[in-house]
């Protein structure tokens, strides 16, 4: 699917603000893919569709999580996590994208997971550091992304975990495990 068709599909499914965010994620993902020998075309498509389900009704997303036997743990955590796995499902069923690598990058772009693929790391990080994001710690992660993808993803996860802890919010297990996986794999290389 080409860029223009993909952007046309998502434009009506989101606010103008979210569309601008999506364009930023797309450009960032392509840049990261080129920097780290990823597939820029897959990065582009995954980035364009990463928030496909962001504005779906919560009841619809909950129903899909239940009917598709997704992790029931999603239902006990913040609804903000739901749009990623639901989005991957809907991108497959409504848009017709079958590439598992692209679908998994969409599925795990909010939580991460252990043994993340290169594309999953690229989409996770692109969503975090795209140019329209402004919050404490993002500049540090942007700088890290220029030199080491794993370190940047690890720092983004660390920032997210600390943010949730400060707000007394639960941390989704996949995020915690993804962070540990990156830390432990990083130590093996040192």
Q: Cα 102 vs. chain centroid, distance in angstroms?
A: 11
| Topology annotation, domain 3-135 | Hypothetical protein af1432 (1.10.3210)
CA distances from 16 to 20, 21, 56, 105, 119 (A): 6, 9, 16, 23, 26
Per-residue model confidence as pLDDT tens digits over 98-115: 999 999 999 999 999 999
Confidence of residue 179 (pLDDT cuts 50, 70, 90): very high
Confidence class of residue 14 from pLDDT cuts 50, 70 and 90? very high
Helices (H), 36-148: 40-49, 58-67, 83-90, 100-107, 118-129, 138-145
pLDDT at 82: 97
**pLDDT given at position 73:** 92
62-77 pLDDT, tens digit per residue, is 999 999 999 989 999 9
Residues 29-39 as b or e (16 or more Cβ within 10 Å = b): bbbbbeebebb
Average of per-residue pLDDT across 30-55:
98
Q: Where are the domains of the chain?
A: 3-135
Determine the pLDDT at residue 188. Answer: 54
Threshold 0.75, pTM exceeds: yes
């Amino acid at each position: 699917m080409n860029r223009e068709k993909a952007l046309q599909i998502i434009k009506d499914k989101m606010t103008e603000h979210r569309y601008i965010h999506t364009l930023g994620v797309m450009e960032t993902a392509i840049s990261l893919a080129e920097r780290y020998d990823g597939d820029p075309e897959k990065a582009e498509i995954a980035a364009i569709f990463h928030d496909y389900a962001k504005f779906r009704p919560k009841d619809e997303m909950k129903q899909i999580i239940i009917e598709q036997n997704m992790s029931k743990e999603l239902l006990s955590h913040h609804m903000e996590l739901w749009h990623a796995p639901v989005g991957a499902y809907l991108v497959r069923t409504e848009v017709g994208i079958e590439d598992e690598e692209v679908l998994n990058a969409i599925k795990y772009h909010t939580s991460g997971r252990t043994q993340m693929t290169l594309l999953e790391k690229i989409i996770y990080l692109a969503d975090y550091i795209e140019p329209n994001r402004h919050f404490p710690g993002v500049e540090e992660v942007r700088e890290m992304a220029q030199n080491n993808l794993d370190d940047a993803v690890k720092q983004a996860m660390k920032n997210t975990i600390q943010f949730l802890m400060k707000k007394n919010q639960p941390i989704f297990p996949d995020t915690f495990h993804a962070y540990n996986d990156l830390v432990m794999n990083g130590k093996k290389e040192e």
